[in-house]
Structure 1
Amino acid sequence: GAECGINAEVEKQLEMGKKLLAAGQLADALSHFHAAIEGDSDNYIAYYRRATVYLAMGKSKAAIRDLSKVVELKQDFTSARLQRGHLLLKQGKFDEAEDDFKNVLKSNPSNNEEKEAQTQLTKSDELQRLHSQALSAYQQEDYEAAISLLDEILAVCVWDAELRELRAECYIKEGEPSKAISDLKAAAKLKNDNTEAFYKISRIYYQLGDHELSLSEVRECLKLDQDHKQCFSLYKQVKKLNKQIESAEEFIREGRYEDAISKYDSVMKTEPEVPVYATRAKERICHCLSKNQQATEAIEVCTEVLQLEPTNVNALKDRAEAYLLEDLYEEAIKDYETAQANSENDQQIREGLERAQRMLKQSQKRDYYKILGVKRNARKQEIIKAYRKLASQWHPDNFQSEEEKKKAEKKFIDIAAAKEVLTDP
């Protein structure tokens, strides 16, 4: 009687689980299948249904464990074998997957199952062929070819961490770090305790100059293994650099530009190998010098940055401001225009450009009064009178030699321009 009671209870749990699974309530369905298995640990149907829930939840490893239990309990349950073969193929475990498909073919399958097993076997062969081609392309350093072969394999073997790591290596060699990062992040999720993936992600971020993300990834590595040598030494380096940059930025916010400059000098000493840090440091030093009204030094450092990155908007803005301090209005305008072309909706650039143009106009006016030899408060009539006198004096026709004619022409043009600007209301 007790045996019957247990079975009835297990049947009830299975039935409830089945209904909830059909309704898409996965977590609830799962708890009923857990209960059924607790009630009867040899019930292959319970494991099979639980595997279905795990799959729907994206928990492939747990699903494979349950399907293996099903196969162990009931050797001839072909659909469990087929499904396990599928999942093993997705993990890139070709030999194990093929064993399952061959087993299905041997165990008197239905027509559909036979067809399916045959198709999967063919697919597995094809994937193994691509796999060996990808490896040989990688060994021959033909990374582009390796990537396109790995793309094909990974379209099927979506859970193969090793293949993702291999493709990430190829992306790094091909100079596509962000694609490498997304493969390594997937590999870190697919493989437990994947310290190597976190280390590589951290290194890539570090090389790209993203010290904050580098720090958070290397911390993930140390959470898994606090004695990981490579991660620990990278961690110390990134942490030191991060701290220096943070305190330099703090100084800038407080307007302590001298202190910020010496902090950024330290940054360049801490990391002399990775060029992006020196460039960033110089960009910020250029900003500090410009803000600190050390125009000559600012122009020099900003120019160094702009030789490496001609469209660096921050360096262009800071150099423009330094040029204005030196009364080099046209140079400032040129920098602001380049900055604007590379950052269209920046209000600061627009205002800077307008200010530089205004200052240029004022400076030209100052020069024009001088050209006409009149005071700055001269009336329009006085300006016109002075213009007529000078224009007749410097008319090119009054001069004989080529040299003198040229000089007079320039003078004549300046005089005309001065009258034009100063009589313009």
Structure 2
Amino acid sequence: LERGPNEEASSQLTSMAELRRDIEEAYMLVEHGQLPGAVELLGRAIEKCPWDPSLHETRAECYIQMGEYYKAISDIRPTTSLRSDNRPAFYKMSDLYYKLGEAEESLIQIRECLKLDPDDKQCQPHYKKVKKLVKQLNAAQEAKVAGQYDECLNKAKQFMKTEPNVEFYQLKGQSYLCHCYGKGGNLQDALMHCNRLLSREPENVEALIDRAEVYLASEKWDEAINDFQKATNTDEHNRRAQDGLNRAQKLLKQSKKRDYYKILGVKRTARKKEILKAYRKLAAKWHPDKYEGDNKPMAEKKFIDIAAAKEVLTDKEKRQKFDNGEDPLDPEQQQQGGGGPFWHEGFNPFGGGGFKFKFNFN
């Protein structure tokens, strides 16, 4: 400009003056808690000065206070290159990922800090905590997939204890407790944890399906159908929800007919040993050859139902069919499915000719 008029130089001087005003005003807005306005001004400044780490750091702090953690991370990340040995930046990114529930990514970032200084007083304890949590999370997931439900419950409780203050991990723990208590047959505790989770996340599809499964095991058909329907409405492509809805509807229809569990007086979660015990007790009472009452036809009908229940519930394949809403001893259903002919009550424990059947408790 001293040599003479220069439009480019004049334009840059004007731009610099505007930039200074934007930065000063942005910091003033930050002090007064007017964060959206500060973010807007800092954005304009960063477009002109992308290599100034302090601008990124200030905007990142605004985003953190606004709860926009991913945007904060996007601002912190370039400062790891713009400042040498920027361990605080790696720690902050790790902490934010941790709060977002991305424990694996949190572990990656905190390891970057320790590469710069293995004994960093801030990063070292955080690393130990995140590493422990990741191990427990992975163990819970592996146990869940493997069907090791007691181990699943144990690991879920462990990581909930490791991190009691971050909501994500508490809700994650509730999801494991909801699923694994249900699969393990503890329906009361399963329902309690499913309800806790769904009170915070009412559209959590997996939790809706897990609670529906608990309702099915408790023979609450309408409640199960309602949850499966909600899950299907939320995620229409979820196969587990669709299959569950179909099964629940079949079980509701089936409940109005013959229920083998009720006939033997056992829960749907009963093991084979319990089923056989119930069968032996009832068979001893109602077998027509041993029945001492006057109503032999009624005793015969009772025993037919008892024997049919034992036939289905002690056979793994038949029981699975029944649990899916299909009666394997129903001639109409079997003919529709290509099965063979059955006696009109499903099957005949007495054989083809009267009461020559030898009573057997096995």
TM-score, normalising length: structure 2: 0.69
Q: Match for residue 282 of structure 1?
A: 174
Equivalent-residue separation in structure 2 for 1:193 and 1:340 (angstroms) = 50
Structure 1 residue aligned with 2:123: 231
Measured in 1, the distance between the counterparts of 2:164 and 2:239 equals: 35
1:300-357 Cα offsets, whole Å, 9 max, x none, are 1111111111111111111111110011011111111111122221111111111111
Q: Distance in 1 between matches of 2:246 and 2:52?
A: 57
1:355 aligns with 2:262: no
In the alignment, residue 96 of structure 2 is paired with which amino acid?
I
Count of matched residue positions in the alignment of Structure 1 and Structure 2: 261
Percent identical pairs in the alignment equals 44
Unaligned stretches of 5+ in structure 2? 260-297, 299-335, 337-362
**Structure 1, residues 85-122: CA drift from partner, whole Å, max 9, x if none?**
xxxxxxxxxxxxxxxxxxxx34x37x6xx221211111
Q: What secondary structure, in the 3-state scheme, does the structure 2 residue paired with 1:229 have?
A: coil
Q: In the alignment, which residue of structure 2 is the partner of 1:37?
A: none
CA RMSD of aligned residues (A): 1.9
Segments ≥4 residues shifted beyond 3 Å? 364-367
Which residue identity does 1:140 align to in structure 2? H
Higher helix proportion: 1
Structure 2 Cα separation of the partners of residues 300 and 351 of structure 1? 24
Counterpart residue number, 1:122: 14
Match of 2:215 among 323, 344, 353: 323
Matched residue type, 1:210: E
What is the identity, as a one-letter code, of the residue corresponding to 2:89?
A
Deviation at 1:250, TM superposition (A): 2.1
Q: Which has the larger radius of gyration?
A: 1
Q: CA deviation at 1:214?
A: 0.6
Q: Who is 1:400 aligned against?
A: none
Q: Does 1:171 align with 2:42?
A: no
Structure 1 residue 366: deviation in Å? 5.3
Which of 82, 91, 100 aligns to 1:208? It is 100
> In structure 1, the residue corresponding to 2:122 is in which secondary structure?
helix
CA distance in 2, matches of 1:365, 1:256: 34
- Match runs of 1:330-341 below 5 Å: 330-341=222-233
How far off its partner does 1:293 sit? 2.4
- Separation in 2 of the partners of 1:216 and 1:267? 19
Residue 312, structure 1, aligned to residue 175, structure 2:
no
**Higher relative CO (CA 8 A, sep ≥ 6), structure 1 or 2?**
2
Matched, 1:219 2:111: yes
Taking the aligned partners of 1:132 and 1:281, their CA distance within structure 2 comes to: 46
| 1:218-239 per-position Cα deviation (integer Å, ceiling 9, x unaligned) | 1111112222211111111101
- Find 2:87's aligned residue among 195, 198, 204: 195
Distance 1:268 1:335 in 2: 26
Partner of 2:330: none
Q: Distance in 2 between matches of 1:190 and 1:365?
A: 73
1:192 is displaced (CA, Å) by 2.8
Read off the aligned partner of 1:355 and give its amino acid letter: R
The residue that corresponds to 1:299 in the other structure is 191
Aligned: 1:162 with 2:50: no
Could you tell me how far 1:140 is from its partner in structure 2?
Answer: 0.9
